[in-house]
Chain A
Amino acid sequence: MSGPEIVLSLRGAGFGYDGEAIVAGIDLDIHRGEVVAVVGPNGAGKSTLVKGILGLTEQLGGEVRAYGVALDDPSIRGRIGYVPQRHTLATSVRATVAEIVAIGRLRFRPWWQPWHRDAAKDRQAVARALDLVDLGDRAGADVSQLSGGQQRRVLIARALASQPDLLVMDEPTAGVDQGNQAVLGQVLARLASAGSTLIIVTHEIDALAGVVTRVVLVADGGIAFDGTPQAYAAHDPHGGHAHHPGFGRARSVTGLHDATAGGHHD
Chain B
Amino acid sequence: MIELLDYGFMRNALVASLLIGACAPLVGIFLVQRRLSLIGDGIGHVALAGVAVGLLTGTSPVWTALLTAAARGRPGGDVALALMFYGGIAAGVVLIGRSPQGTSANLTSYLFGSITATTADDLIAFTVLTVLVVAVTVALRPWLFAVAQDEEYARASGLPVLGLNVALSVLTAVTVVVSMRVVGLLLVSALMIIPNAAAQQVSRSFAGAMQLAVLLGVVASVGGVATSFYAETPSGGTIVLLALALYLVAQVGARWRPASRHGTRAERHTHEHGPGCGHEAIPHGDHVDYLHDGHRHAPHDDHYDEHAEDHRHEPEHEHERGRVR
Contact = CB atoms under 8 A, between A and B. Distances in A.
Nearest to A141: B204
A99 B207 contact: yes
Interface string B165-198: 0000000000000000000000000000000100
A140 interface: yes
A78 B157 contact: yes
Contacts, number: 126
A95 interface: yes
Most B C-beta atoms less than 10 A away, residue of A93, A100, A134, A158: A93
A149 B293 contact: yes
Nearest to B143: A111
Nearest to B295: A147
Is the interface on chain B under 10, 10 to 19, 20 to 34, or 35 or more residues?
35 or more
Interface of B: 29, 32-33, 35, 138-140, 142-143, 145-146, 148-150, 152-160, 164, 196, 200, 203-209, 261, 266-271, 277-279, 291-295
Contact of B206 (A56, A77, A86, A96): A96
Contacts of A96: 204-206
A150 B267 contact: yes
Contact of A93 (B32, B261, B269, B279): B32
Nearest to A147: B293
B205 A56 contact: no
Contacts of B145: 95, 99, 103
24 contacts: A56-B152, A56-B156, A82-B153, A84-B153, A92-B35, A94-B206, A94-B209, A95-B205, A99-B145, A99-B206, A102-B142, A103-B142, A103-B150, A111-B140, A111-B159, A142-B204, A147-B267, A147-B293, A147-B295, A150-B267, A162-B157, A179-B269, A179-B279, A180-B293
A145 interface: yes
A149 to B, nearest CB: 5
A91 B146 CA distance: 12
Contacts of A93: 29, 32-33, 196, 200, 206, 209
Contact of B32 (A92, A102, A149): A92
A177 B150 contact: no
Contacts of B159: 106-107, 111
